[in-house]
Amino acid sequence: MEHHEHKEHHQDHADHSSGHHDHHAQMIEDFKKRFYINTVLSIPVLAFSEMIQGFLGFSFSFPGMGNVAAGLATFIFIYGGWPFLKGLKKELSEGGPGMMTLIAIAITVAWAYSTAVVFGLEGKVFYWELVTLIDIMLLGHWLEMRSIMGASKALEKLAELMPSEAHKVDGDNIHDVKISELKKGDIILIKSGEKVPADGKIVEGSSDLNESALTGESKPVEKSKGDEVIGGAINGDGTIKVEVKSSGEDSYLQKVIKLVEEAQQTKSKTQNLANTAAGWLAYIAIGVGVVTFIAWAFFSSQGMDFALERMVTVMIITCPHALGLAVPLVVAISTALSAKNGLLIRNRTAFENSRKISVIVFDKTGTLTEGNFGVNRVVSLEDEPEGDLLSKAAAIEQSSEHPIAKGIVKEAKSRELKFPSISDFGSTKGKGVSAKIDGSTYQIVSPGYLEEEEIDLPEEANSNKAETVVFILKESQLIGFIALADQIRKESKSAIETLKEKGIKVLMATGDNEQTAKAVADELKLDGYYSQVLPHEKSELIEKLQSEDEFVAMTGDGVNDAPALAKADIGIAVGSGTDVAAETADIILTESSPSDIANLILFGRATYKKMVQNLIWATGYNVVAIPLAAGVLFYQGIMINPAVGAGLMSLSTIVCAANAQLLRLKFK
């Protein structure tokens, strides 16, 4: 039963995630459709407005024009305003007003008051204000949603790592079963190149297993009888039989899924800048509106109609049209500029907050390093030239799929060496490969093989670098060796220097061993490193740093990084890594270059500055407009005219649009 639920659990994640993504696309399409329909219907409403007619210098009317305007405005209010009215309910139920609340208050007050005026109340009709506010806010939300990528598919991607079936061994028979049907104690067969379907222990055979996506260990791990294997790892050349120890909810991968899920749910729901400003304006609109009404209704002789008109004017004017575009325009431009510069922004709040980063934690494999083996040294111990030694090793290794073999072949090809022909190729699992060249037997073997054969390891083979060394034998005589390592990216050093100059502490957390981690940390002059770290430990490290009041960014590319990417204040995935890492992160570096992280912080700072400037332009005129709308200078003969309010709003919208465009000059 437990395993059946596990399968459904995976499917639920997949369905939920793809459903969420489709929902996001539908919302964008919905805002676009509402914007177009409302804009067309707004034209006659604006043409019927006395204020707009006076403003543009024309005049016309017909019997029942007010009722037609009321009908069109009511449709626009209900159809165009629905997302904001729905958003009002959601924001208030989640703990406080924001953008949706402010818009909903302004459009409801404008519609209700104007409709009452059309049907007999003394006052002014604000339908022009209602329809333009809805149109601009719909445009702003549409622009913003379109410029930001959809919701996370991380859990779906994680679930996909597990194969759907396993080869179950029953006596002499082998048959395929769904992994949901596996039980503890079952024996399963895992063929060459297949994914391991469940956690377990090898009971027969040996192989190299690639666990890099799961644990972060960069090189394949040699496993034989008695060793543990993790579900989701990729089997190498050998065939192994495994006794199932845990599957379903208890599996290692399922625990990673749970970590990601929990981190995503608890990740800070920081309100973004525009929402915070809108929340304050909502309080001001309600507070000042009520005070204005009470002051004029009960402490003056102007009457209830005048008091109501002043209150309505205050509540409408407090929601500036420019606020709907102030941030979305900056977001749309900075998202496009970022994409051109190799940064894909999935979470805008995280991008805004990148200016706060105090500590950045890097994964090693595939992030600071290339993530594949490159040849560091070729050393000949006999008279044979290094080039000949490398070409012979590459000729033999061409037949192997091992990452070390691929590294040797790649190096030989980059040197444009000619490969000799080989015969009698053979491989011994965990020991090495052999073949004949010109009648002589050559072997490429591990240090363990030399120890078994009691062949002394050459002193030159030892180095303090994080190297993997393979030895070349000719007719059982040691003639040389090749040292390989996961190469540090060229850009890593300068990127780390830049980050340190900005006062950011740089740490590394890797699944690799102590020696490898130390070598990389020393070479890059990191502020600290953590080796042999498992996914849940990376996530715990992020939590520990956060508890020390650090604002933490995490950069990684593997499944093992997913929980930490989700937990960090800002998760940054390198695009060449796994889909899981990319889907869990807030920002994706498409070029996989650590130097882009420095650019990201500069980008974030410049974008935030533009957002603040635009919010000041969008809301600044309220400092003058709200008191005038409330009538504080009424007895001095000064009171804001709706036409003046409209002019100020238009001006602040134009200034915001122009200011957003200036962001382009910073990143030419």
Which of 92-101, 472-481, 627-636 is predicted most confidently?
Answer: 472-481
522 in active site: no
Out of 67-71, 549-553, 581-585, pick the least confident. 581-585
Give 330-366 pLDDT, tens digit per residue.
Answer: 877 777 777 677 676 777 777 778 888 999 999 887 7
Helices and strands: H and E segment counts in the chain: 25, 22
Give 478-505 pLDDT, tens digit per residue.
Answer: 999 998 888 888 888 888 998 898 889 9
Per-residue model confidence (pLDDT) at position 10: 39
Decide if pLDDT at 367 tops 80: no
Residues 281-295 as b/e (b if ≥16 CB within 10 A, e otherwise) read bbebbbebbeebbeb
Out of 134-138, 161-165, 311-315, 439-443, pick the least confident. 161-165
**3-state secondary structure at position 442:** strand
Decide if pLDDT at 154 tops 50: no
Q: What angle do CA 44, 46, 52 make, to 5 degrees?
A: 140
Q: Mean pLDDT for the chain?
A: 80
SS3 of 265-326: the string is HHCCCCCCHHHHHHHHHHHHHHHHHHHHHHHHHHCCCCCHHHHHHHHHHHHHHCCCHHHHHH
Kindly tell me the burial class for residue 419, based on how many C-beta atoms sit within 10 Å of its own C-beta (0-12, 13-18, 19 or more).
middle
Give 578-633 pLDDT, tens digit per residue.
Answer: 555 556 777 877 666 777 787 787 778 888 888 888 888 888 877 888 888 888 88
Per-residue model confidence (pLDDT) at position 271: 45
Out of 2-16, 46-60, 268-282, pick the least confident. 2-16
Per-residue model confidence (pLDDT) at position 106: 84
Per-residue model confidence (pLDDT) at position 543: 94
Decide if pLDDT at 313 tops 90: no
Per-residue model confidence (pLDDT) at position 642: 57
> Residue 647 — very low, low, confident or very high, per pLDDT cuts 50/70/90?
low
Decide if pLDDT at 151 tops 50: no
> Residue 644 — very low, low, confident or very high, per pLDDT cuts 50/70/90?
low
Decide if pLDDT at 458 tops 60: yes
What global pTM score does this model have?
0.58
Per-residue model confidence (pLDDT) at position 6: 39
**Annotated active-site residue in 199, 208, 363, 596:** 363
Residue-wise DSSP of 324-363:
HHHHHHHHHHHHHHHHHTTEEES-HHHHHHGGG--EEEE-
